[in-house]
Amino acid sequence: MLRPPKDTIGNLRNSCICSKCPSFLECARHTKETFYCFEGKSNCLHDRYGCICMQCPVPKAKSFSGGYFCLSGKAKTK
């Protein structure tokens, strides 16, 4: 029987959709930043142009609430 993909950090990281977000700028692309809900605040993003975290599978998998993790830091569980 096929099993669903494991909830590993690597799989979760690959699910991150920050690179498609309007708040995600070139500076973050250059430094390969992503996965802010686990890794904490961005070193170069500072402005809110929208957040698409709630369209990402990670908050659902990990019961995270909120968004803008790039600005506010690591996610807290509900």
Task: Name the residues that contact ligand SF4, by CB under 6 A.
Answer: 16-18, 21, 23-24, 35-37, 51-53, 56, 58-59, 67-70
Pick between residue 21 and residue 31 the one whose CB is nearest to ligand SF4.
21
CB of 46 to ligand SF4, least distance (A): 11
Pick between residue 7 and residue 51 the one whose CB is nearest to ligand SF4.
51
Give the C-alpha separation, 44 to 47, whole Å: 9
CB of 30 to ligand SF4, least distance (A): 14
Q: Which of 44, 14, 16, 41 is nearest to 29 (CA)?
A: 44
CB of 1 to ligand SF4, least distance (A): 28
Pick between residue 8 and residue 59 the one whose CB is nearest to ligand SF4.
59
DSSP 8-state secondary structure symbol assigned to residue 6:
P
Residue bearing tokens 């070139």: 26
Residues with Cβ within 8 Å of 61's Cβ and at least 6 positions away in sequence, in order, are 7, 12
